[in-house]
Every structure is written in structure tokens, then in C-alpha cells.
Chain A
Amino acid sequence: MGRLSGRLDDVTGDAGYDDHPPRMGFFTDTSVCIGCKACEVACKEWNSVPDDGYLLTGMSYDNTESLGASTWRHVAFIEKPTAPTSSSDVTVDLGMPGNGPPAAGQDQTTESGADGMRWLMSSDVCKHCTHAACLDVCPTGSLFRTEFGTVVVQEDICNGCGYCVPACPYGVIDLREDDGRAFKCTLCYDRLKEGQTPACAQACPTESIQFGELSELRQRADNRLAELRDNGVDVARLYGRDPEDGVGGDGAFFLLLDEPEVYGLPPDPVVTTHDLGSIWKSVGAGAGAVAALGVAAFVGRHR
């Protein structure tokens, strides 16, 4: 049994691998996401993820809604008025249609927002947590840590107990209703084994989704954040990068341009097993109370 919370630098070694490749992950830089959904399509195609219904949500360009058993990449679209919210006048022109012509020669971080609105787009994915609650609560051992430090469901073992679903602090994993088993992003475990890039990162036309060794991605993210801050984009922040955070850092982390909750992400998730000691202690104390009560009930008269 590995560590359950806090900083953990070698999660793969902690899971029992003696000799293993470096931890691999995603860095999703939402400041260059154009909302093309190529990642969603590539993921569905490569992993043969079934259709999960077609409906018009009215949520901007997002008809995918959220991550789930049959959606392993989800592109969020947020339309926000510029004027009152941001402490900076700088917004990111993402070149979306219907917002006036993009001026020639502008880069991603130039000023726009002439129509008083800004777009936020972000491709969400399973975070492949350092301390993965889904994995730690799985009673069958179906969920496991791969040699790449990622978290994967073994479909031939999962019996659909559903414990992983409410355990995930990000609301990622879910049961497929007609199938009964739990599914989520595998970080393209099959492709990783062949030394290939996961389908979503391969398909991303703007390198918003970057795949690589986690240590290198963190370095890259720090540089990108510094660059954006230098350009005055002070709303930029990294999410899930900190190995000291509530889940010990994410294997898939993000650069965001607003608060996490705006994107549907929890602002400060803490893995449930952080409190496991206290939980077991209370269960034991409660059981002790029931036993004591049982003994006390037979002391004295029995009529």
C-alpha cells in the first residue's frame, strides 16, 4: 500500500515498479485552445468509445457537456463579458467566428474584446492523480497504476460496483449504463506501450494538448506561465501542477485563464484518502459503541 496523500515524487515506484519509465502526462495549455474538438474526435476514434447521445445543450458550442464513461476528452466553452471581471484589460483572441474579424498580425495574447466578450476554451481530461481516489477505493483491483504512472481501468475485471464514481474529486470516471462497467481516459496506454503519443495530443492542431514526461511538462508550463505573465496576462495560472496540492499533483495538468470552477473544475480538491485514518478510527469507535451497548443491554434484569 502506497502513500495516501501529500507529496510523492516517484508514484510509479511507490506502486511497486522497481524499474520503470518516467512518469508521463499531459499539459493542457488552454490559452492556445481554439475549441476545434479534434481531441474529442481522435479519442473516440482511437479508443472506440461509443456514442453517448446527441443533444443540444445551449451551453455555447459545448454539446458534449462533461467528461464521462464515453467522453474522455471534453472541450468546455465559456463566454464571459470582459469589462467587469478581469483585473487586466488583456484578453486572448482565440479567433472564433462571430466576434469580429481577427486583426492581422495579432498573436494569441493581444488585446481584443472590442465586443465586450471573451472566450475561454479548455480541453478537460482525466487528471491521472498522484493520489488517485478511484484506484484506492476500487475493491476488485480493476483500477491500477501503470508503469507510466497513469491510472487505468482493466475492463475484464471491473464488476461495476461504482465506488470509483463518487470517489473521484473531479467527477471524471463513470459507469456506462448499458454496459455496467466503469470507463475513463487511459492516457492511451496502448499507444504509450508502443512509444507513441496519445491520440488527443497527436490530433491537437495548436499544441494546446502537450504530452511528455511529467517533469519536463512542468518545466514547460512554468516557462509558458512566465511568458504570459510578462505579456500582462495576469489571469493565467497553473492548475494541478503543484505536487504539494490535495491530490499530490495531477499527471494531467492545465494552464487556465480564469478560476478553475469557471471551467467546471474543483478549485481545491483533496483526495478522500487524506482522511482515511480518521475514517477508520471513527468506524472502529462506532463499532465499539455497538458492542458496548450490546453487552450493557444484558446487565441487570432480563424481564
Chain B
Amino acid sequence: MSPREEVVPEFEFESYYGRPILKQPTWKTPDIPLYFFLGGLAGASAVLAEGAAATGLPGLERIARLAAAGGATAGTVALVHDLGRPERFLNMLRVLRPTSPLSVGTFILAPFGTLSGIAAASHLTGRLPRIGRLAGVGAAALGPPLATYTAGLIANTAVPAWHEGHRELPFVFGGSGAAAAGGLAMVFTPLNQAAPARRTALAGAAIELAATETMQRRMGFVGEPYRQGRSGRLMKVAQATTAAAAAATLLLGSRSRAVSVLAGAASVAGSVFTRFGVFEAGMASAGDPKYTVVPQRRRLDSREPTTA
């Protein structure tokens, strides 16, 4: 640990008894970060399932279909459980509001859950194969936005660590979702059908790691919660796990079934850590007034250099 050249100075700023300006999100852990993970897993798995169906890889198709339907179902349960009034969850369908990624996301998740469920049921029972396949295609189309809209959801808030990362967060979440889907498929698919799963996991990991790095560099001071404290530790564990999983996949993933299982599991775990890390970074960011005051004060001062 050598001291870095550029030492970040302690910012002087005023506040009301050190109290946060923003309200911390009331979203519960593990419900919401878990949903972010499950949505990413399900969305990317639906794409994987359709690819497997199109290229004739039944082993890969099976686990991917199950992950898509299971992830969407479990994710929906987590979302409803997080509501302050769970019995009113259907009120989400009253309006469709393009200014609310949560509203738009509801109209992605609801059909995705239905279609991926039909596709999985058809695949398992062998009944209505055409309808099942058609549903699978629909789920695959909705899968990528399902994996990334949650990033837009948290970015469309006043929380500095989330809002200021709005350009990169969808890539972090999308990559993380692909890493999870590929990883899970690697665990359950025989080696001779797992090549697309490995590629999905590798490409997902690469996108996630690159986007996370870019985001942190660009955000500077506001990105501090991604490097410090509990959220910083979670992000470091996430990056290390994802990178290790990718390295193992690249070196031995196609040769050893044991390595494929372990690396796949690690890839899934890395995705879970990433979601919890990003979630906790937002909580820390909202809980400290400096992340709200300092950037706004700088913006003001640069606009009007002299104040009365």
C-alpha cells in the first residue's frame, strides 16, 4: 500500500448538524439488491435459452429456461415483499409512466415473467412446443431490457452515487446479469454444450468490470462510496470474484468439468456481490451530506465566482 500521488483533500462544507440532506432509500436488504441480481440473471438467461434452442443444445436450453422463469418469479416475490403495502402491488399496473423506470420495468417484468414461465413449462412437459418456443422468443426480446432497466431505476434518483453513474450503471448491471446467467449455465451444463455459456459469462464479466472501472474514474469524489467503507469492500470482493471466475473460465473452463462448475458458481457470486455493492454505495451516498453539498456548491461557485 503505497501512498498515491494525488491526495484527495478533505472537503470543507457546511451542513445542518451533519445531518444528511437526502432521505436514505427505504428499500430493504436483501429484497431489492437480490431482485437486481435475479432480474439480471433471468433476463440474460432468456437470451441464452433462445440461442440454445436455435442451435440445438438441449442441456443448456433447460437450465437457461429454468433460470429465466425462476429468476423472474423469485424476483417478483422479492419486489412485492418490499412494498409497504404488498396487497396493493397491482396498483403498479394502473398507469404506464415513461418518466418512471419502475413503472416501465413493471411492464417489462410482468410479460417477461409470463412468457418465460410458459416457455419453461412447455420445455419441461414437452407440450405445446410451438407456443412454448414463441413465448421463449418473446422472453428473449424482453430479457436484455429487464437486465438493465434496474440500473436506470436507481440512476433516476437524487442519490449522487447512483445518479452520477447513470451512463455506466446499465452496462454494469447488464454485464453482471450476463455473467450470472453464463455462470449458472456453466454449473449445470455438460462441457460439450457449455461453450456459449462460457462466452456469455466471459463477455459479461468483461463488460461489468470495464464499466465499473470507467464509472469510478469518471465520478471522482462522488464515487467514493464505491471505494470506501462497507460498500467499497463489497465492490472489491465483487470485482475480485468476477475477475477470478473469468480467468478460470478462460484457462480451464472448456477442459475441466470441476473448474467449469466452480468458475460458474464464482461468476454468479460475483454478480450478487456487485448488486449489493452498488446498492450499499447508494445508501452510503444518500446518508452523508457531503456527497450532496460539495458537488452542488462547486457547481454554484463555478457559475458565480463571487458571492456577496
Contact = CB atoms under 8 A, between A and B. Distances in A.
A272 B300 contact: no
A103 B48 CA distance: 80
Contacts of B175: 289-290
B178 A290 contact: yes
Contacts of A170: 21
A261 B92 CA distance: 36
A141 B94 contact: yes
A297 B196 contact: yes
Contacts of B22: 166, 168-169, 171
B1 interface: no
Interface string B269-308: 0000000000000100010010011001101100000001
A96 interface: no
B55 interface: yes
A302 B190 CA distance: 12
Residue among A142, A265, A290 facing the most chain B CB atoms (10 A cut-off): A290
Given A140-B92, A278-B167, A159 B84 contact: yes
Q: Which of the four size classes fits the interface of chain A?
A: 35 or more
Given A162-B84, A268-B296, A268-B297, A283 B145 contact: yes
B166 A169 contact: no
Nearest to A236: B308
Contact of A168 (B151, B158, B167, B308): B158
Interface residues of B, number: 94
B203 to A, nearest CB: 5
A286 B171 contact: yes
A91 to B, nearest CB: 16
Contact of A283 (B15, B170, B296): B170
Interface in A135-191: 136-142, 157-163, 165-175, 179-182
Interface in B76-102: 82-86, 88-89, 91-92, 94-95, 97-102
Contact of B51 (A1, A169, A272, A298): A298
Nearest to A235: B308
A293 B17 contact: no
Nearest to B97: A139
B73 to A, nearest CB: 19
A103 B203 CA distance: 75
A303 to B, nearest CB: 5
A244 to B, nearest CB: 12
